[in-house]
Amino acid sequence: MKDLVQYIVSSLVDHPEAVLVSPIEEGDTVTYQVKVHPDDVGRVIGRQGRVAKAIRNVVSAAAYRQKKRVFVDIQS
């Protein structure tokens, strides 16, 4: 799942080497903290959060098959 988040976010940004995804597991819930270059935060969030919402939907759909809850937190 971490690789999926890493791949999606790295594909969107201008500085893919600066993308850092760190998972935090709490039982059946996993929170992925995504850190990106400050110039790329707008690209990952998108207008009115549409891109961020799409990333969360794709990751949630993949996690549903594994019976887990997933949150994606985007940071600069």
Which whole number is the average pLDDT over 8-34? 95
Phi, psi of 46 (to 5 degrees): 80, 175
Does pLDDT of 76 surpass 90?
no
Tell me the CATH class for 2-75.
alpha beta
Phi, psi of 67 (to 5 degrees): 60, 45
Structure confidence at residue 15 (pLDDT): 95
Does pLDDT of 28 surpass 90?
no
Structure confidence at residue 66 (pLDDT): 87
Does pLDDT of 2 surpass 90?
yes
Report which residue type is found at 35.
K
- pLDDT tens-digit series, residues 29-61: 999 999 999 999 999 999 999 999 999 999 999
Structure confidence at residue 51 (pLDDT): 96
Domain boundaries, the chain: 2-75
